[in-house]
Structure 1
Amino acid sequence: MFAKFEQTVLKGIQSSTQRKLIILGTIAALILSVMMIPTEIVLAKMLPGKNNDTYNVYVKLPQGSSIEQTKKVTDCVSSIIQQEKEVTDLEVFLGMGSPLDFAGLIKGSQFKNSENVAEIVVNLTKKHERDEPSYMMVQRLRPVVLKSCQPISKESDISFVEPPAGPPTLAAVVAEIYGNDAPGIRDLAGKVEKIFKKTKGLVDVDVMEDAIYDTFDIKINPEKAARSGVGIKQINNIMYLAFEGMDIAVKNSPKYNDQIPIFLSLSDGSKRFTKKDLNAVQAKLSSLKLMNKFGMMVPITEMVDIQPTKSHPLIMSKDLHQMTNVMAETDMVSQVYPLMDARNQILKELSGEYDISKTGLFDLELKDKKSGKIYDLKWDGEMKVTLDTFRDLGGAFIAALVLIFLLMVVYYKSYTLSGIILVGSFLSIIGVIVGHWIMDVFTTDTFFLTATSLIGFIALIGISSRNSLLLIDFTKSLMHDKGMHKAEAIAYATATRAKPIFLTATAIILASTLLAGDAVFGGLGVSLIFGTVAAVIASLIVVPILLFNADLDKHFHFHEKKAVSITDPL
């Protein structure tokens, strides 16, 4: 078999037509495979979705909503999720965040402490006992839950949060908006939020800021209180007792060392306001009366002034710069492509109000045409981690190629031979990209080119370089010690070294099949499998042609010898 392969290689490298066809075909395959990434045939992502045994649902109503309104929305979400047979149990945390988990540490669950928020922790059966991955379940349930539960309370946000497969981030795509003008930041954040909601692939859009809502300031009028014969402390106590509750006495018990406080508060029905307007507040306060020092009952409204006002939102800052975040998750797609679409829409829709300039790879600077105030839009989240990771791994790949090239130059004292080894190593990228495309065709969900895929590609450099080194060193030995001519030496070396190359490749492929089925490391396995196949093809077909085109007689100091058998020891 190897004798026939030797003759095939010999005829191939001696035929100028076949050499040109193979070289042109290799270049075409390289260009087409690389173009699969910008044309979105193969999608890039930091890490694929991870099949977890749990996920959370965040419920957020407009600021100022009551706990009863939050409970209605939460009950709706819970009733839908409970119908899933894979759900073993769930736990609802009203007015607070759930106990901290890996994702909650970054997303700020510990800071949730108001009536308009809630968290639902959903536990699933073990991933080996169900067919549907958790991320596919979330993708399926999200539109159903939003359609049924979001209309219960206007402007409510319901988002699904899964434990991250990699480093935890605030969200998949985060737009950080910086400026020195709080209303301007809020206005720009609202416009970016609208663009996010219209961008295909982005879901669970939210702005990390408090909504401004109507509220009422109740201020005690000292003069009226003095004329009514009521102390200011009395008024404060009755207000706090009515709407918050307070300890009014203690009880002793033989079972406890400490005194047990007695807590008093109005009933939930008594606390409720009929409407959110000034008349409802006055009516509620008029029902609260205090006995003055003359024994007369005086309504609270006679001693306080009620002033309508706006709430005071929390001012956020990062690195001592005032800012806010516009966040969005991705619906089973990469973060990069929706970000590019959203960024293009920002440039298109906001150019009428702002002078927009690019300040980085994706960052923008926006100058308000009317006020002249400047705002910075910087991208963060999992998208930034993806770009940083791909940048760092790309740099590592280039550094590996450069170091291999320099090492080969020192070893062979030839730039040509070092370049051939470098080309043979780089051609494995064809198999890596095409392999991801093949896997994407045959899998139900998207098979992404991930960070682990690039790690596998970098690992292939050593394997590919080793194959080329085997051929070049054996060819050199045949020409230098046996006196064989270039074409015969290349063909014989290729056929002889094909067996160890095949055995090594088979071992790598069989070992990598264990990784190919993993959710996180599947990209690494696919890169090693298909990249190894491409490396073998490049080593046994492309590298011999490149060697034939090189001036090996000069590089190896070839001197023809006569009557030297190939079976003689070197």
Structure 2
Amino acid sequence: TSLAGTNAALRFAEDELAHLPSVKGWFANLGHGNPQIYYNIVPHGEAVNYAEVFVQLKEYDTRRTPRELDRLRAELARYPGAHIYVKEFVNGPPITAPISVRVIGPDLDVIERLAGRVERLMQTTPGTRDVDNPLRVARTNLQLAVDPQKAALLGVPAVEFERAVRLSVAGVPVSTFKDPSGEQYDIVVRTPTGPRADLDALEQVRVPTSSGAILPVSQLASLKFEKAPTQIERYNRERAATVNSEVERGFNTARVTAAVVKRLDAMSWPRGYHYTLGGEAESSQEAFGGIGTAIIVAVFGIFAILVLEFGNFKSTLIVLTVVPLGVLGGLAMLLATGNTISFTASIGFIALIGIEIKNSILFVDFTNQLRGAGVPLGEAIERAGEIRFLPILLTSATAIGGLLPLALENVGLYSPMAWVIIGGLISSTLLARLVTPVMYKLIPPAMGAV
């Protein structure tokens, strides 16, 4: 499209924004992307068919604003001949889209066909929207096909032909101009073809021969149109095309990605062609690369500290029985709130283990103290449960109260961590009231080892 056509689509989008009462203001850039205004957004380069609008809202309500953005997407989709996307800034590493599929192989034509199949597959998968295939619309190039035999017969070197065409269409730099401020500008010489070169300019191109004659370009070459890819992308030094998709509100990104992967695996891929996932799947895999080791180290560290504190394995085992109770509560809370096991959620599980073990230590240690003072096993368990339950309950309630504002903000980066700790503390505090005394009754530590 032309710059004027892009400008018309931009004006339409701005008119729609003007009717939204929640919009505080906006600014637009035509022909290129906005400057970098968010840490994980890479600015778009110059293109006549591209424009961007940065919109600032008066406030962001986690329930009302997403519904308004859905209505805005529906209104903008009515504009013909343009793709207008509405995207929110999100925290995390820079990714092109939540769901991203790279089609990789040696031949661009085959990649284009496969990318089209992947695009249709993603469009028909529930939960996806704004599916973008960069190879959907091919670019049309003008090619001057030179007849090498005729050029050699007439004495026209290839370099002279290229220089003559460049002189008529783009111009040739011949010198530089330096203004008083020190800035330098290229001086470009071009054949007079009007304000903008067009197809008629090629008919006026004259090519000098080695004998000094001047020949029209039509005697040496023919003009034809040819299909060309809009971009050539490489991934791990292989040719690739990336098909991106956003996720509908109310759908879980991990589940939609799993549905897309299941259908991709069912596709018949030619030999030498395959796909890899980008987007949130790739960033999560990179983020989780070292989290497993960190969890193992943390668990063994906690185990070693408990053994050193109690001096026996039975007390340590009783304390650790609270861990699965908290993990189950954290997983249940993630499921109830529609969140996934993200990187920050994993950090929440590590923090949860430390908090619930602290509460369990209060009970086990006090029970050991009572038994050391001569109180019978059953009575020691009962008294420890009565005396220590209130401090444990108040400690958990204080932590839950402090985390609730962060959880209710519904921020994708921190809210899953808060929900994990809240759910784990609720389940471990309530269930440990039953499980920990029972475990202590079943495997009481020997008092000589306390």
Pairwise TM-score range, normalised by the shorter structure: 0.7 to 0.9
Task: Choose which of 218, 222, 235 in structure 2 pairs with 1:305.
Answer: 222
Following TM superposition, by how much is the alpha carbon of 1:114 offset from its aligned partner in structure 2, in angstroms?
A: 3.6
1:144 aligns with 2:144: no
User: Relative contact order (C-alpha < 8 Å, sep 6+): which is higher?
Assistant: 1
Report the Cα distance in structure 2 between the residues aligned to 1:82 and 1:267, rounded to whole angstroms. Answer: 39
| Partner secondary structure for residue 536 of structure 1 | helix
1:324 aligns with 2:241: yes
1:113 aligns with 2:46: yes
1:90 corresponds to which residue? 27
**Is the Cα contact below 8 Å between 1:81 and 1:87 reproduced in 2?**
no
Give the direction of change, closer, same or farther, for the CA distance of 1:232–1:133 in structure 2 (3 Å limit).
Answer: farther
Report the Cα distance in structure 2 between the residues aligned to 1:215 and 1:137, rounded to whole angstroms. Answer: 41
Report the Cα distance in structure 1 between the residues aligned to 2:65 and 2:194, rounded to whole angstroms. Answer: 42
Residue identity over aligned pairs, in percent, reads 21
Report the Cα distance in structure 1 between the residues aligned to 2:264 and 2:75, rounded to whole angstroms. Answer: 29
Following TM superposition, by how much is the alpha carbon of 1:224 offset from its aligned partner in structure 2, in angstroms?
A: 8.9
1:459 corresponds to which residue? 351
Q: TM-score w.r.t. structure 2 length?
A: 0.79
Following TM superposition, by how much is the alpha carbon of 1:394 offset from its aligned partner in structure 2, in angstroms?
A: 5.3
Gapped regions of structure 2 (runs ≥ 5): 209-213
Report the Cα distance in structure 2 between the residues aligned to 1:187 and 1:255, rounded to whole angstroms. Answer: 53
1:486 aligns with 2:418: no
Following TM superposition, by how much is the alpha carbon of 1:88 offset from its aligned partner in structure 2, in angstroms?
A: 0.8
**Is the Cα contact below 8 Å between 1:72 and 1:152 reproduced in 2?**
no
**Is the Cα contact below 8 Å between 1:241 and 1:266 reproduced in 2?**
no
Equivalent residues in 2 for 1:33-432 (5 A)? 65-85=1-21, 86-94=23-31, 96-101=32-37, 102-105=39-42, 109-110=43-44, 112-115=45-48, 117-127=49-59, 136-145=67-76, 147-149=77-79, 151-152=80-81, 157-208=83-134, 212-218=138-144, 244=170, 284=200, 288=204, 301=218, 304-311=221-228, 314-332=231-249, 333-348=251-266, 350=267, 354=268, 366=269, 368=270, 373-389=271-287, 392-393=290-291, 396-432=294-330
Task: Choose which of 525, 528, 534 in structure 1 pairs with 2:427.
Answer: 534
1:516 aligns with 2:407: yes
Give the direction of change, closer, same or farther, for the CA distance of 1:302–1:204 in structure 2 (3 Å limit).
Answer: same
Report the Cα distance in structure 1 between the residues aligned to 2:323 and 2:431, rounded to whole angstroms. Answer: 8
**Is the Cα contact below 8 Å between 1:475 and 1:493 reproduced in 2?**
yes
Q: Comparing 418-427 with 213-222, which one deviates more in the overlay? A: 213-222
Following TM superposition, by how much is the alpha carbon of 1:91 offset from its aligned partner in structure 2, in angstroms?
A: 0.8
| Partner secondary structure for residue 78 of structure 2 | helix
1:475 corresponds to which residue? 367
2:211 corresponds to which residue? none
Following TM superposition, by how much is the alpha carbon of 1:391 offset from its aligned partner in structure 2, in angstroms?
A: 6.5
Following TM superposition, by how much is the alpha carbon of 1:183 offset from its aligned partner in structure 2, in angstroms?
A: 2.9
| Counterpart AA for 2:97 | A
Give the direction of change, closer, same or farther, for the CA distance of 1:71–1:398 in structure 2 (3 Å limit).
Answer: same
| Counterpart AA for 2:116 | G
Count of matched residue pairs: 440
| Counterpart AA for 2:422 | I
Report the Cα distance in structure 2 between the residues aligned to 1:454 and 1:491, rounded to whole angstroms. Answer: 35
* Per-residue CA distance 1:339-389 (angstroms, 9 max, x = gap): 1111222233x2xxx3xxxxxxxxxxx4x2xxxx32232212222223444
* Per-residue CA distance 1:63-122 (angstroms, 9 max, x = gap): xx443443444443343334323151221321x3332343433xxx45x3343x313122
Look at both structures and tell me which one has the larger radius of gyration over its CA atoms: 1
Report the Cα distance in structure 2 between the residues aligned to 1:313 and 1:494, rounded to whole angstroms. Answer: 70
Give the direction of change, closer, same or farther, for the CA distance of 1:512–1:314 in structure 2 (3 Å limit).
Answer: closer
Report the Cα distance in structure 2 between the residues aligned to 1:291 and 1:451, rounded to whole angstroms. Answer: 64
Give the direction of change, closer, same or farther, for the CA distance of 1:288–1:138 in structure 2 (3 Å limit).
Answer: farther
| Counterpart AA for 1:141 | L
Report the Cα distance in structure 1 between the residues aligned to 2:25 and 2:3, rounded to whole angstroms. Answer: 26
